[in-house]
Structures are given as structure tokens and as C-alpha cells.
């Protein structure tokens, strides 16, 4: 059986996989939700949802700090990773020994395609279609924010999500006009003067990968007294697997209070 990943690599499987390792949290959750209770044998330390999976499946390091020896010991017949979240050098090393399928996600359409392709890859086409059909129409019922702003994913230095990212695509869909230009990096670093100059109406502080808390609001509020600064659930903006089934309800409730 031949399959093509989202980097246009073709992989061959002699049979549907029985030993799968996932290197990305959102895709690990997807595999679990597809029903891979026995087949999923390895995840990263950041694959925290659902709790049952996190507590019972072997962990193979971080998304960018994989334990290659532990992966070898688990003897997977399929590894599923992501271009942005995993280190290229480690993926290339794994590809020498194992069958590796890679996703590459910039938009909601990319995520829906990934869900469909992974469903076919692991012989869970029907379950994948159910998840895809829960997500796709829900995004037709989004409230619109109609405000401009910045979405921060990191502090020291401050880093914001640019337009050419999955988060950027989601922000656009909820009517959030990203103050970053198309020409800027995907996740540019910004100093306080640059943030002040952009003068955003709204700032979202994400819960991940940096765990922004209420005390971080004041740091920005002091230089942006007229901006509204809000803590948001980063998983619902950035996890591009089955968690997207929960995203629209969250976005609509968030927009209500803004």
C-alpha cells in the first residue's frame, strides 16, 4: 500500500500499522480518538491529552528532543510527525530506519486533509470522516470579532504568531486582524517598543507553548493602556487534530466577552 504525506513523500506499508509512534500532541490525540488503543505505542512528553493516553503510553522525549534509542527499542512500523514541530535532523535520522509520515499544516484545510489522510493510513477511514465532519461545518458558525491585535506564543523574547501559520489562519477566520505583516517571519520576535508601535486593540496571551498567566498581563498593560489583553487557551487555537471539534464553541464564547 502506498501513501503520500503532506511533504509529498511516498511511503509504503505492507499492511496497516500495528505499532505506531506519534511525535506531535495534536496528532497523538487524533490517533487515540480514531481508536488506536493497542496500536499507539509511543508519544512525546507533551502529548498530554487525553489523560488515559498520557498515563499509559510510553514517552519518547520531547517533540524537538526525541529519544532515538527509545524509539528504536519500541520497534515501530509507522512514525507520524510534523514538519514544524519536529527537528528535521531527527526526522531524517528516523527515516533511514523507519517508515515516517509527515504532516505540514498552515490552514484549517490542511488539518482536515491530514485527518483524512491519517485515517486512511491507520485503517480508520470512517472514524476520521466522523471527526472531519464534526469540524468542517462548525467553522461555518463562527462569530466575528472584527478587531486587530497580536497573538503571543512566547515571552523573553516576546514572539507572536504571524499570518502564515495555522494560528494565523484561525485568527483570520474569527475576524481577528493580525497586526503583523505578511512579510514578517512566521513567529517574529518583538521588543516592547515594537509592540507599542503596532498599537493593537487586542492581545491574546496563549497558554502554550509559553504558559502565560494573569501576572503577565500587567507587563504589557503598562505600555499599552488602551489595549485589551486576554489569556486564551492555546490548544484550541493551535492543535490541528481532533481537538478542533471543541474550538468553535470556545471561540464563540470568547468573542461574546470581547
Residues 134 and 146 in one domain: no
Residues 128 and 239 in one domain: no
Residues 121 and 10 in one domain: yes
- The pTM assigned to this predicted structure is 0.96
User: For 8-41, how does the pLDDT look when each residue is reduced to its tens digit (9 = 90+)?
Assistant: 999 999 999 999 999 999 999 999 999 999 999 9
Residues 133 and 146 in one domain: no
Residues 134 and 8 in one domain: yes
Question: Percent of the chain scored above 70 by pLDDT?
Answer: 100
User: For 204-244, how does the pLDDT look when each residue is reduced to its tens digit (9 = 90+)?
Assistant: 999 999 999 999 999 999 999 999 999 999 999 999 999 99
Parallel, antiparallel, or unpaired for β 158-160 and 147-154? antiparallel
Last residue of a domain, one of 87, 107, 138: 138
Q: Which of 36, 21, 30 is closest to 70 using CA atoms?
A: 21
Long-range contacts of 87-90 (CB under 8 A, 24+ apart): 90/64, 90/66
Q: Find the domain containing 26 and state its range.
A: 2-138
Residues 217 and 120 in one domain: no
Residues 44 and 70 in one domain: yes
Residues 178 and 131 in one domain: no
Per the structure, how many domains does the chain have? 2
Residue 185: pLDDT over 90: no
What is the full DSSP assignment across 141-191? Answer: G-----EEEEEEEETTTEEE--TTSHHHHHHHHTTEEESS-TTS-SS-EE-
CB 118 within 8 Å of CB 34: yes
Give me the CATH number covering residue 8.
3.40.50.1980
Amino acid at each position: 500500500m502506498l501513501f503520500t504525506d503532506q511533504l509529498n513523500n511516498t511511503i509504503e506499508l505492507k499492511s496497516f500499522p500495528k505499532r505506531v509512534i506519534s511525535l506531535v500532541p495534536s496528532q497523538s490525540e487524533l490517533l487515540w480518538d480514531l481508536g488506536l488503543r493497542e496500536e499507539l505505542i509511543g508519544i512525546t512528553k507533551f502529548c498530554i491529552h487525553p489523560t488515559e493516553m498520557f498515563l499509559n503510553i510510553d514517552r519518547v522525549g520531547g517533540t524537538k528532543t526525541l529519544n532515538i534509542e527509545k524509539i528504536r527499542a519500541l520497534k515501530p512500523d509507522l512514525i507520524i510527525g510534523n514538519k514544524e514541530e519536529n527537528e528535521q535532523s531527527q526526522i531524517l535520522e528516523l527515516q533511514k530506519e523507519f517508515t515516517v509520515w509527515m504532516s505540514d499544516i498552515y490552514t484549517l484545510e490542511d488539518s482536515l486533509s491530514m485527518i483524512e489522510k491519517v485515517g486512511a493510513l491507520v485503517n480508520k477511514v470512517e472514524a476520521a470522516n466522523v471527526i472531519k465532519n464534526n469540524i468542517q461545518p462548525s467553522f461555518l458558525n463562527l462569530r466575528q470579532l472584527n478587531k486587530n491585535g497580536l497573538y503571543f506564543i512566547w515571552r523573553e523574547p516576546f514572539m507572536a504568531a504571524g499570518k502564515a501559520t495555522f494560528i494565523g489562519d484561525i485568527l483570520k477566520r474569527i475576524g481577528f486582524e493580525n497586526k503583523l505583516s505578511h512579510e514578517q517571519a512566521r513567529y517574529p520576535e518583538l521588543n516592547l517598543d515594537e509592540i507599542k508601535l503596532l498599537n493593537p486593540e487586542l492581545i491574546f496571551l496563549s497558554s502554550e507553548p509559553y504558559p502565560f498567566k494573569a501576572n503577565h498581563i500587567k507587563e504589557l498593560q503598562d505600555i499599552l493602556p488602551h489595549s485589551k489583553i486576554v489569556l486564551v487557551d492555546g490548544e484550541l487555537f493551535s492543535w490541528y487534530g481532533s481537538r478542533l471539534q471543541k474550538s468553535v464553541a470556545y471561540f464563540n464564547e470568547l468573542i461574546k466577552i470581547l
